[in-house]
Chains A and B, each alone.
Chain A
Amino acid sequence: MFTQFFYTLKAYKVPVSLTEWLAMLQAMEKGFAGNNLLSFYYLARSLLVKSENFYDQYDLAFREFFTGLEVPEELFDELLKWLSEETLKRHRDSVDLSSLPQHDWETLKKMFEDKLKEQKERHNGGANWIGTGGTSPYGHSGVHPGGIRVGGESNNLSAVKIATARKFRQYRKDVTLDVRQMKVAMKKLRHLRRSGNLLELDIDESIDQTCRNAGEIELVYHPERKNDVKMLLLMDAGGSMLPYAQMVNRLFSAANSVNHFKKFRYYYFHNCIYDHLNAGMEYGERVSTAQLLKNLNSSYKVVIVGDASMAPYELFMENGIIDYYDRNETAGIVWLERIANHFRNVVWLNPNPPRYWQHPTVSAIANLFPMYQLSLEGLESAMVELTRKAH
């Protein structure tokens, strides 16, 4: 009967599978949801949503599906008189929710108005009239799963209140991006190889050697597996990147503290990469880009972070460099091409969302490197791209 809820969840991009849905129906059949919407809220969440990243979408879907619909103002006061008093005794145990008729909003509203015309007195309990308790779809504190709520601090509807509070907003995957999440994403980058000290017992080899030794036990050890990935991080420290400084910083500290890279090098540039790269964020010590390409072999995984938007001459012209006292004999785009050709895996992370990527320099750069947004999802896809074997 809640099948529509399944699709509402899907519509809010909560990844629900059919198995999980069936498990939830099974649980409801066993009566685990009680007869109360709050229990149902928790039950469905624990069985259908498997990451706090989707709690917020779940809340939104729940709110849409279960919110008590509004009642016209003039009817309200009248109704409240009937509904306000009375200790509420719900006939929960005797109610089978699934047997109750379901109505869409239009029909429900019509029926509600008709009922209101017919009804001449207060009514509590029962399955027909507007009142408290009971299973009619109107009134409050009742247990009809999709009805009109009229005032009241209903227990059942507090679930919708909880959903409406959207406490889990900050857990949404597309919103937050902290160091830890970046690390998790970067952990996808790994290529294990045996190296270092002999620490693990090599059972196959031990048995083999022992047999060759006519039963005299011979233990053979081999090194542990370690990550073999080398990483080069190039970051734009230009003026237009200032708003994203914190995010780039986080990316840097994530990459720096994921201590599982075999080697990690990082440099800064302003707007575009030219003959030199800076070792720090400010001007100062710098290295020659050509030298760097010579020193680093093509197996380095390269991540370039920048908004890629600049004046076209900065990218396409010689001496287009933005720094007044500096000159570049080779156009920026040529340097970028060299980088793209030298390394097997390069990605470009852009802090701007894709809707801004129509800009001429951005699209020129996106032609050279696979470009992703600097968001958790973008970072994850970028890491997948980096682990791809070059053909």
Chain B
Amino acid sequence: MTNQDTKTPNNIQRPDRRTATQIRPLSCKQGFLTQVDGSAQFAASNRSTVICGIYGPTEVKPQDEILDKAFIDVKYRPDVGIPGTKDTLSKVVLRDTFKHIIMRSLHPRTMIQLNFQVTQSDGSIEALAINAGVMALIDAGVPLKYTIAAVSCCIDVDGNALLDPTQDEMNDAVSIHTFAFSNIESDNNTPIYSNSTGKFSLEEYKMCFELCKVGANKILAFMKTCIETKISQLNQS
């Protein structure tokens, strides 16, 4: 595929009436689970939803104990059926991502457990799980190096890049890319997380990178608004 073929025209009409660079309307709810130390639900247009519940920093099994760091335990459950190989991959990927953003050395010899439950699945679950995890960690008050936001992007058969794809768009895609960016401005060109599947050229990858960067900054702004609204509501009373 040549360079001219990859483009992000804004006039593409997607099945849900979005343009190619538009993310679905987001919704986020924090602290609604009563038995955990922190929780969040992150949803895209109420069609894809992930719930995350955090326990911790809490007691750790002796075999998992790390002397100078917190042990990060991730449990991941899909919306249908029991966890399989694909879900184990998601689990490992999430664990390795959160290992880098949690300040683990501030809570040595403890465990921080993240429980993910997909409740609705219509594409971009990987990105939503990262976003739900971050919001839940913030709710639990776990110290974080930075706030991150993730977003997916896919290249369809015509070479168009589509941001925040639905499941149908992902099924027909040639390649799928997911990136996460932090809210630290100087790091804005280094993704915290990058995962690509399928066949793609360097130009396509770069285009998705730029597209996702813009999308992630929108999600970061949304997260900030969410937290500001929640805190100012509490302070009013």
Same assembly: no
